[in-house]
Amino acid sequence: MTKVITYGTFDLFHEGHYRLLERAKALGDYLIVGVTTESYDKRRGKLNVVDSLATRMENVKKTGFADEIVIEEEVGQKIRDIQKYNVDIFTVGSDWEGKFDYINEYCKVVYLDRTKNISSTMLREQKYKILKLGVIGTGRIANRFMPEQTLVSGVEVQAVYNPHYESALAFAKRHEIDAYNDLNEFFDNVDAVYIATPHETHYEYCKAALEKKKHVLCEKPITLSRSQAEELFATAKQNECILYEGIKTAYCPGFVQLLNLARSHVIGDIRYIDACFTKLEKKDSRELTDLKYGGSMTELGSYCLLPVIKLFGKQYEDLRFESVKNENGLDLFTKISMKYPKGLATMTCGLGVKSEGRLLIGGTEGYIIAEAPWWKTAYFEVHYENANIIDKYADRFLGDGLRYEISDFLNQINEGQNAEFKLTREESITMAEIMEKFLNGRADKTVT
């Protein structure tokens, strides 16, 4: 009996997939089909798979060609499966020509001609029109956003707005898009916006966009006051728009896995969280000279608050800030302490003081530790009382990591595929409230 194996995502099942499976089956007597998991696809850079694993497996089954269906979860599994199932032939479409030659060592490799003019990407694009995105702001983050959005199929940045037309023009030229300095005209030419402007302008831009019924992905902190955040989320709901706060960590696969692990009681009950993020900035940078809205807390506080609000929740009993300030009175370094009914949290952010950036989550049976840059979570460990046992977890964090939030934002708009749990409106509102308390007091105790 000749055993054949093939693998794929089989998203939005189409004729190309059908013909591939038909020919794969004809190569032998018994066909095994490996269908990829969502997390594996995410790791290998396929970000907007539409169908669930169950649907994709069901579609493969319906063809009647597969004698057995397995789930493909990780790199290296192909060799393991080939050995385990005594496979004679590995086959895949010719778009992979040469890529799987290493498998020749284990079984015969056959590349089958790919069916022309059909692909899941094409179908995805036909199913939904491309989401026309506009960028507000032309600074560092906006520039980082541009290469990331090209990696998510189904969205395309087509316009940029900056009240300083010169900056908009330069950005537009660099990225081959249209420049606007009239906000209404800009909104009329896009379906959704990404806001990457100074913190204090987020509220006005979000409000203007939502009133024009545009979906909004806004950089953190979404606003600097609770009432403003509440108002924006209410407007979004009323106008049936998606409003996402872009704290990239919240959407990255490794951090989602870390949170789920922490919630699964592997370290018992969580009692302590300590998060630190420092990034040294030049003395004349906007972050260290903008007297009203600059400083380490407004710049980095959202990252450090994220794991605390996600795991301990919104109902804190006590909140304190302590800061080291520069000669302008801006916080170079801020320590936030929070008390919850069943736990304590400490967070530190620094723009002018360097410290060890790590995230530590302590529980009644062990602790989770993620070293810097934990805000781009790619690796973490779980430790226990028995120091000999360390569980290690790794995930991929690709590029600048903005692709994850863009892909969630797009899927939520198109599919209603819920990713809001990754950063809920209530969590964003709580973080805005904490920012407001900080700015009102600009630190209870100050060391200068």
Instruction: List contacts with ligand C2G (CB under 6 A).
Output: 7-11, 16-17, 20, 36, 72, 92-93, 95-96, 114-115, 118-120
Q: Which tokens go with 382?
A: 């779980």
Q: H or E segment at 265?
A: none
Cα(359)–Cα(274) distance, integer angstroms? 6
DSSP 129: P
Q: CB nearer to ligand C2G: give 9 or 228.
A: 9
Q: Which residues contact 431 (CB under 8 A, 6 or more apart)?
A: 220, 221, 222, 245, 301, 302, 305, 306, 309
Q: Is 101 helix (H, G, I), strand (E, B) or coil?
A: helix
Closest approach of ligand C2G to the CB of residue 118, in Å: 5
Question: In terms of Cα–Cα distance, which of 345, 291, 295, 289 is closest to 316?
Answer: 345
Closest approach of ligand C2G to the CB of residue 76, in Å: 11
- Where do the H-state alpha helices sit in 328-424? 402-415
Q: CB nearer to ligand C2G: give 23 or 425.
A: 23
Closest approach of ligand C2G to the CB of residue 120, in Å: 6
Closest approach of ligand C2G to the CB of residue 121, in Å: 9
Closest approach of ligand C2G to the CB of residue 164, in Å: 43
Per the CB < 8 A criterion, the answer to whether 408 and 419 are in contact is: yes
Closest approach of ligand C2G to the CB of residue 148, in Å: 21
Place of tokens 């009382």: 385
Q: CB nearer to ligand C2G: give 95 or 269.
A: 95
Work out whether the CA dihedral 265, 405, 408, 76 comes out positive or negative.
Answer: negative
Q: CB nearer to ligand C2G: give 97 or 182.
A: 97
Q: Are strands 379-384 and 390-394 parallel, antiparallel or unpaired?
A: antiparallel
Q: CB nearer to ligand C2G: give 102 or 421.
A: 102
Q: CB nearer to ligand C2G: give 8 or 28.
A: 8
Closest approach of ligand C2G to the CB of residue 440, in Å: 52
Which residue is at the shortest CB distance from ligand C2G? Answer: 93
Per the CB < 8 A criterion, the answer to whether 230 and 261 are in contact is: no
Question: In terms of Cα–Cα distance, which of 298, 317, 308, 294 is closest to 347?
Answer: 308
Q: Which tokens go with 130?
A: 């491309």
Q: CB nearer to ligand C2G: give 111 or 272.
A: 111
Cα(24)–Cα(33) distance, integer angstroms? 9
Per the CB < 8 A criterion, the answer to whether 413 and 215 are in contact is: yes
> How far is Cα of residue 352 from the mean position of the Cα atoms in its chain?
28
Closest approach of ligand C2G to the CB of residue 255, in Å: 25
Which phi and psi (to 5°) does residue 181 adopt?
A: -125, 10
Q: CB nearer to ligand C2G: give 105 or 240.
A: 105
Q: CB nearer to ligand C2G: give 17 or 403.
A: 17
Q: CB nearer to ligand C2G: give 95 or 444.
A: 95
Q: Is 368 helix (H, G, I), strand (E, B) or coil?
A: strand
Residue 249 to residues 304, 376, 386, Cα–Cα distance (Å): 10, 6, 30
Closest approach of ligand C2G to the CB of residue 157, in Å: 25
Q: H or E segment at 77?
A: helix 77-84
Closest approach of ligand C2G to the CB of residue 123, in Å: 10
Q: CB nearer to ligand C2G: give 92 or 168.
A: 92
Per the CB < 8 A criterion, the answer to whether 278 and 295 are in contact is: no
Q: Which residues pair with 155 in a beta bridge?
A: 131
